Amino acid sequence: MSEASDTVLTTQDGRPLKASLRKALRREKLRAFLLIAPLLLFVIVTFVLPIADMLLRSVENSIVEETLPKTVQALASWDPTSGKLPDEAVFAALAADLKVAVKEKTHTRLGSRLNYEQTGMSSLFRKTGRHVKKMKEGPYKEQFLEVDKDWGDLDVWQTLKRFSPPYTAGYYLAAVDAQQTPDGIQMKPEDQRVYLLLFGRTLFLSIVITVSCLVLGYPIAFILAALPLRTSNLLMILVLLPFWTSLLVRTSAWKVLLQQQGVINDFLVWIGVVSNTDRLVMINNQTGTIIAMTHILLPFMILPLYSVMKTISPSYVRAAKSLGATDWTAFWRVYFPQSVPGIGAGAVLVFILAIGYYITPELVGGTSGIFISNRIAYHISSSLNWGLGAALGTMLLAAVLILFIVYDKIVGIDNVKLG
């Protein structure tokens, strides 16, 4: 090797072989790239950019600085822990900023942004905005206090100061039920905590759904793999049929089945298992979410399991039996270990789909069966607190990635076979 490196291999006309090879391959690479370019562009525009935007939104906080530039500057020298209100210079800056903001009608947006952090901010800014034009030259502090006595509240100023930097961890703190106080980061009062509970429930329900999919799906996949191809293809249609039915229809069907006056309860009452007065509550709670989502995600467990089991030759089990193993030993020690890659693939697929599921928990989950994604949707479309929604979404994404890495470390992602 060391000797050969002295003489560079060349082509017949004396060019270095490597350069020549690169040139020959460049055309092919370019062609290959052009083929995937549309998809790449599509993915970047519809997937990568939105995710980047979401990540940015979860920490972005330039609205305070943009709307109240002078105030932010003036507040820099104020010590929020001093116990005193900011001095006249700050009030003057606020008045100047608000006059501009009212003209541009941005003060209400700032109000609703700060309202996420402290209730009352929205109406405070709205009210002040109406009066700021009429304010006279001269000491502003009294005029502000006259408009609304909240301007004499230390909390208002502390909040304003805390959220004046262009980036904030506030959304993430809110997403884990914490908040920033002048005394540092603290958990919110117990009765205001929502998100940790929701994250925990999302994880727990996703695990329950994954396990029930596995318990129900494994025997089905096993039978499908063992049957002759003609029969198994027919049965496979039954597995795939739900795929071809609208998600909403399937979920609504569960509503019909599971509700208290529904088919299942009626049947149970009829055969006398349940009395008419205490019918089972199976919907608008966790039970409903688990049942409906297990049903919807079952094919995602069966298909990878089936494709892995299909590759396990029946001669392994036969060999085990001929060597003296009972049916159970042959299954447990020989068949099952070989089906683990399918379990891994199915479980990862179902779990990741479940953890971000939205429609089904929304429709059948009631209040106790909803997922973190329902809360994200609420913040994106109802409360319009996109920053918090983005922070929750980012955390969900991070949780999935962490689980994926843990899974890779324990099981090995190369053991996962989808077919």
Partner 1 sequence: MADNRGAAVRYENVQKSYDGETLVVKNLNLDIPPGEFLTMLGPSGSGKTTCLMMLAGFEPATHGEIFLNDRPINNVPPHKRGIGMVFQNYALFPHMSVAENLAFPLQVRKMGKAEQQEKVKRALEMVELGDFGNRRPAQLSGGQQQRVAVARALVFDPELVLMDEPLGALDKQLREQMQYEIKHIHENLGVTVVYVTHDQTEALTMSDRVAVFNDGIIQQLSTPDSLYEDPQNSFVAQFIGENNKLDGKVVEVNGSQCLVELGDGTRLKADKVNVSGVGDKTTLSLRPERVEFDPSDQMDNLVKGRIEELIYLGDHIRVRMNVAGNDEFVVKVRNRGEKRKLETGDIVPIGWSLNDCKALDAVA
Name the site residues for partner 1 (rule: CB under 8 A). Answer: 313, 315-316, 318-327, 329-330, 333-334, 337-338
Nearest CA-CA partner of 258 in 218, 289, 233: 289
| Backbone dihedral angles phi then psi of residue 167, each to the nearest 5 degrees | -125, 150
Query: Which CB, 114 or 330, lies closer to partner 1?
Result: 330
Give the C-alpha distances (Å, rounded to integers) separating 256 from 124, 250, 361: 48, 10, 15
Query: Which CB, 337 or 419, lies closer to partner 1?
Result: 337
Query: Which CB, 139 or 337, lies closer to partner 1?
Result: 337
Adjacent-strand bridge partners of 60: 167
How many residues in total does the chain contain?
419
Closest separation in Å from C-beta 316 to partner 1: 5
DSSP letters for 96-136: HHHHHHHHHT-HHHHHHHHHTTSTTHHHHHHHHHHHHTTPP
Task: State CA 246 to chain mean position distance.
Answer: 23
Separation between Cα atoms, residue 64 and residue 375, nearest integer Å: 25
How many CB atoms neighbour CB 143 within 10 A? 18
Query: Which CB, 101 or 312, lies closer to partner 1?
Result: 312
Closest separation in Å from C-beta 407 to partner 1: 19
Query: Which CB, 267 or 316, lies closer to partner 1?
Result: 316
Query: Which CB, 396 or 416, lies closer to partner 1?
Result: 416
Closest separation in Å from C-beta 11 to partner 1: 38
Separation between Cα atoms, residue 217 and residue 262, nearest integer Å: 26
Give the C-alpha distances (Å, rounded to integers) separating 87 from 31, 67, 119, 141, 157: 67, 20, 24, 8, 11
Q: Judge whether 318 and 236 are in contact, CB under 8 Å.
A: no
Closest separation in Å from C-beta 62 to partner 1: 56
Closest separation in Å from C-beta 221 to partner 1: 18
Nearest CA-CA partner of 327 in 406, 240, 226: 226
Closest separation in Å from C-beta 300 to partner 1: 25
Query: Which CB, 100 or 325, lies closer to partner 1?
Result: 325
Query: Which CB, 232 or 415, lies closer to partner 1?
Result: 415
Closest separation in Å from C-beta 218 to partner 1: 18
Query: Which CB, 335 or 358, lies closer to partner 1?
Result: 335
Separation between Cα atoms, residue 114 and residue 117, nearest integer Å: 5
Closest separation in Å from C-beta 336 to partner 1: 10
Closest separation in Å from C-beta 413 to partner 1: 17
SS (H, E, C) 212-227: HHHHHHHHHHHHHHHC
Closest separation in Å from C-beta 165 to partner 1: 56
DSSP-derived secondary structure letter, 312: S
Query: Which CB, 192 or 315, lies closer to partner 1?
Result: 315
Q: Judge whether 300 and 346 are in contact, CB under 8 Å.
A: yes
Separation between Cα atoms, residue 101 and residue 63, nearest integer Å: 11
Ramachandran category for residue 179: left, alpha or beta (phi over 0 → left; psi -120 to 50 → alpha): beta
DSSP letters for 146-202: HH-GGGG-HHHHHHHHHT-SSB-SHHHHHHTTEEEETTEEEEPPGGG--HHHHHHHH
Query: Which CB, 42 or 316, lies closer to partner 1?
Result: 316
Work out the angle at residue 210's Cα, subtended by the Cα atoms of residues 208 and 213, and round it to the nearest 5 degrees. Answer: 105
